[in-house]
């Protein structure tokens, strides 16, 4: 297998982008990434697009060819492939590109991720997100995506004594980070009381425990390591790419306080990268709900099970600590345009490893990790990147 | 959900039908054709049987922001229930105040209306749970 590097990144602002359509967002992020890598169109071998549900959000399928077309790549007839794994679509698209290059099939691949979620009502948008869960055996009975995560939160509180305040501290911390990110949907710090008093969505989770509905796109250019230095003096190396799956329905798991897919993908990634947990200085994790971030950092072995709440509240995952989690603001504050999220995580890691993350820069960042989750943990993708 | 998609699973939704692997004894709900533990060894040995309908609350939530089909029911209690046979499922808890629901609470299944396909459409029935 060949080594793979990231040589270009691009991202749109995340939020309610009423003036920008799906294809324009995808094109903007893609072109920014291609410009960043100083590529010409003829050098691109393939395009992968992470997208969860354009068919339901904007009634448009076949979006990989669409993005290729509007990015000016249709003329070169490059292969354009859409990748779907609900919330993990973006991370999985990156993994497909990684595999294509590592295998020797392609040299340079553009990966985009995009979702347009605010052209429809919040109610419908939430229903589409719930389709990542088991429609026949969860949603039919009234389960929603927040409700399933609320049951994880309540069980975590019951099993480990995690407090409501500890869970809420994830939102406070991620808004603090988001306030430093000019592309974030929410660039405003919030108080603990705001989270605790926010309107109830699914008890115990309120509005401020949930990532927002967002529009946005992100893109990266991957390249074989041996060619990367032709394009950049600062390639970022993909040290590991791992993926795991689990039962679709949350109730089919022996323990809902652990996402086994996350645990397994992280173990595989650390083995591939030949790194230990303590080597990682920053991690972008899938905080689609506050409780999800606690599970993520526990399941990947950064904190013992049941200890992440206290650690987060104590500031052990804030920028400046040994491990900074969700420096971009995470899904909570940066925004969560579903298909774009896993790609945006990689964009953040690359900015940090290049030392260009501005006010949210983690000093001396050398190794960084991204964890991207689909559904209630039925898919997990973990990437580890490092300074080359 | 369309009529046929719902109708196909009616036996399971009305009668809480599960499967037990004839090879390892693992119980699965809803019924499966292949045991997730034994794989090929279980083929042709998956025995259908009816759960006894009793279990306890493993976790729960009160849903305040509901899908459009459940708009008139909110807020409602949704729970994950560990059945006596060991499998878990997701269902609404009814005939109980949200404040009185506790993890570990004993509950039993009852057949209720789950939803309908519009005002003139077919009514869907299935399990909900009550304390006992």
Q: Mark the ranges of chain B whose per-residue pLDDT is less than 50.
A: none
Nearest-CA residue of chain B relative to A255? B58
Q: Is the pLDDT of residue A33 over 90?
A: yes
In a domain, B119, yes or no: yes
Say what the pLDDT of residue A366 is.
Answer: 98
- Cα A354 to Cα B30: distance, rounded to the nearest angstrom: 50
Determine whether the interchain pair A147/B76 forms a contact, defined as Cβ–Cβ distance below 8 Å.
Answer: no
Q: What value does the mean pLDDT take over residues A53-59? A: 97
Say what the pLDDT of residue A21 is.
Answer: 97
**Chain B environment of A150 (Cβ under 8 Å):** 61
Residue with tokens 């041996």: A226
Query: Cβ of A143 under 8 Å from any chain B Cβ?
Result: yes
Say what the pLDDT of residue B97 is.
Answer: 97
In a domain, B109, yes or no: yes
In a domain, B82, yes or no: yes
Say what the pLDDT of residue B3 is.
Answer: 81
Q: Which residues contact A123 (CB under 8 A, 6 or more apart)?
A: B67, B68
Closest partner residue to A143 (CB to CB) among B78, B126, B127 is: B78
Total domains, chain B: 1
Say what the pLDDT of residue B14 is.
Answer: 96
Query: Cβ of A123 under 8 Å from any chain B Cβ?
Result: yes
What beta strand segments (E) does A89-214 contain? Answer: 108-116, 200-202, 205-206
In a domain, B11, yes or no: no
Q: Return mean pLDDT, chain A.
A: 97
**pLDDT confidence of A89, banded at 50, 70, 90?**
very high
pLDDT tens digits for range B30-49: 999 999 999 999 999 999 99
Q: Where are the domains of chain A?
A: 4-121+214-236, 122-211+238-387
Q: Which residues of B touch A (CB under 8 A)?
A: 1, 5-6, 9, 30, 36, 58-68, 70, 73, 75-76, 78-80, 88-92, 98, 103, 114-115, 124, 126-128
In a domain, B87, yes or no: yes
In a domain, B57, yes or no: yes
In a domain, B86, yes or no: yes
Say what the pLDDT of residue A113 is.
Answer: 98
Determine whether the interchain pair A251/B60 forms a contact, defined as Cβ–Cβ distance below 8 Å.
Answer: no
Q: Is the pLDDT of residue A81 over 70?
A: yes
CATH of the domain at B87: 2.40.50
Nearest-CA residue of chain B relative to A246? B36
Kindly report the CATH number that applies to the domain delimited by A4-121+214-236: 3.40.47.10
pLDDT tens digits for range A351-371: 999 999 999 999 999 999 999
The reply to whether A4-121+214-236 and A122-211+238-387 are identical in fold is yes
Kindly report the CATH number that applies to the domain delimited by A122-211+238-387: 3.40.47.10
Say what the pLDDT of residue B1 is.
Answer: 66
Query: Cβ of A313 under 8 Å from any chain B Cβ?
Result: no
- Indicate the burial class of B25 (C-beta count within 10 angstroms; 0-12, 13-18, 19 or more): exposed
End-to-end CA distance of chain A: 17
Residue with tokens 């206290």: A310
In a domain, B105, yes or no: yes
Supply the DSSP string of A299-318, one letter for each residue. HTTSS-TT-HHHHHHTTTTS
> Shortest CA distance to A67 belongs to which of A338, A380, A346, A339?
A339
Q: Can you tell me whether residue A262 is helix, strand or coil?
A: helix
Percent of chain A with pLDDT over 70: 100
Is residue A243 within 8 Å of residue A265, measured between CB atoms? yes
Residue range of the domain that includes B84 = 52-131
B1, B26, B80: which to substitute to probe chain A, counting the most A Cβ within 10 Å?
Answer: B80
């Amino acid at each position: 297998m060949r080594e793979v590097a990231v040589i270009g990144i691009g991202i749109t602002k995340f939020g309610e982008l009423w003036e920008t359509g799906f294809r324009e967002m995808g094109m903007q992020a893609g072109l920014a990434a291609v410009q960043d890598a100083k590529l010409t169109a003829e050098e691109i071998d393939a395009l992968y697009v992470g997208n969860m549900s354009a068919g339901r959000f904007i009634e448009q399928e076949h979006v990989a060819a669409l993005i290729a077309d509007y990015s000016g790549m249709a003329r070169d007839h490059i292969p354009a492939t859409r990748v779907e794994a609900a919330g993990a679509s973006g991370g999985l698209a990156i993994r497909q590109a990684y595999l294509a290059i590592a295998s020797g099939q392609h040299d340079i691949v553009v990966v985009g991720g995009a979702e347009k979620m605010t052209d429809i009502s919040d109610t419908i948008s939430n229903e589409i997100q719930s389709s990542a869960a088991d429609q026949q055996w969860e949603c039919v009975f009234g389960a929603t995506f927040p409700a399933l995560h609320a049951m994880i939160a309540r069980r975590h509180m019951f099993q480990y004594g995690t407090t409501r305040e500890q869970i809420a501290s994830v939102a406070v911390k991620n808004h603090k980070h988001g306030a430093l990110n000019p592309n974030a949907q929410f660039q405003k710090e919030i108080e603990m009381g705001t989270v605790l008093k926010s309107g109830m969505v699914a008890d115990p989770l309120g509005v401020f425990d949930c990532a927002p509905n967002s529009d946005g796109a992100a893109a990266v250019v991957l390249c074989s390591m041996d060619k990367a230095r032709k394009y950049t003096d600062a390639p970022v190396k993909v040290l590991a790419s791992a993926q795991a799956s689990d039962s679709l329905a949350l109730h089919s798991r022996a323990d809902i306080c652990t996402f086994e897919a996350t645990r397994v993908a992280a173990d595989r990634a650390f083995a591939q990268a030949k790194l230990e947990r303590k080597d990682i200085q920053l991690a972008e994790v899938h905080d689609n709900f506050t409780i999800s971030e606690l599970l993520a950092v526990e399941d990947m072995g950064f904190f013992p099970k049941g200890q992440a709440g206290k650690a987060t509240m104590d500031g052990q995952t804030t920028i400046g600590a040994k491990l900074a989690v969700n420096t971009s603001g995470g899904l909570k504050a940066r925004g969560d345009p579903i298909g774009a999220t896993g790609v945006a995580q990689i964009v953040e890691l690359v900015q940090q490893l290049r030392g260009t993350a501005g006010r949210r820069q983690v000093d001396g960042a050398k190794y960084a990790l991204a964890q991207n989750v689909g559904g209630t943990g039925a898919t997990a993708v973990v990437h580890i990147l490092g300074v080359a | 959900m369309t009529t046929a998609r719902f109708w196909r699973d009616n036996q399971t939704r009305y009668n809480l039908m599960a499967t037990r692997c004839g090879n390892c004894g693992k119980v699965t709900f809803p019924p499966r054709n292949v045991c997730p533990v034994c794989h090929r060894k279980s083929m042709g040995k998956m025995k259908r049987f009816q759960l006894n309908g009793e279990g306890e609350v493993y976790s729960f939530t009160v849903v305040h922001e509901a899908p459009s089909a459940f708009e008139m029911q909110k807020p409602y209690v949704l729970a994950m229930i560990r059945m006596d046979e060991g499998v878990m499922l997701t269902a609404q808890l009814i005939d109980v105040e949200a404040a009185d629901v506790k993890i570990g609470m004993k509950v039993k299944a009852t057949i209720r209306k789950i939803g309908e396909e519009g005002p003139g459409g077919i009514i869907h029935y299935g399990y909900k749970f009550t304390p006992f």
